[in-house]
């Protein structure tokens, strides 16, 4: 399941993700994200993205590749992308997905992720390896 909410006052999109995805789910997420950005009246580089993946499981390589493609090809690129990931089993997969862009980080909590999005960089990052 993927759901997207927006906080226009902070130019923030929040995606909640859980379960196992198919490539079509990832494309639908991308389309919904782009529509939400446009609905806020924002363009590329004018919003922040917070993705909570705490409920996700290991994804297929096809899904990982689709996420990477969507990140690279999105017409609406976020200023910063913060992903909350606290499950050791999926950290490497998440790191691989995030490796395709700058200003993307992984965090253990929503609090740390939001702090990094809106404030000075967070000193402590989640151990990725």
31-52 residue pLDDT tens = 999 999 999 999 999 999 999 9
**Which pLDDT does position 16 carry in this prediction?**
96
Would you say domain 2-118 falls under CATH 1.10.10.10?
no
Does residue 22 carry a pLDDT above 50?
A: yes
CA diameter of the chain: 38
CB atoms inside a 10 Å sphere around CB 121: 9
Q: Using only the alpha carbons of the chain, give its radius of gyration.
A: 13
Show me where the domains of the chain are located.
2-118
Does residue 129 carry a pLDDT above 80?
A: no
Collapsing DSSP states into helix, strand and coil, what is residue 121? coil
pTM of the model: 0.84
């Amino acid at each position: 399941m993927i759901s997207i909410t927006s906080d226009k006052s902070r130019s923030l999109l929040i995606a909640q993700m859980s379960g196992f995805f198919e490539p079509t789910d990832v494309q639908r997420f991308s389309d919904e994200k782009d529509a939400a950005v446009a609905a806020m009246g924002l363009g590329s580089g004018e919003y922040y993205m917070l993705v909570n993946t705490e409920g996700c499981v290991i994804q297929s390589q096809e899904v990982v590749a689709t996420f990477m493609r969507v990140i690279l090809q999105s017409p609406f690129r976020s200023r910063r992308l913060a992903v909350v990931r606290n499950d050791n089993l999926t950290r490497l997969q998440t790191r691989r997905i995030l490796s395709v862009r700058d200003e993307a980080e992984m965090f253990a909590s929503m609090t740390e992720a939001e702090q990094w999005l809106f404030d000075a960089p967070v000193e402590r990052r989640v151990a990725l390896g």
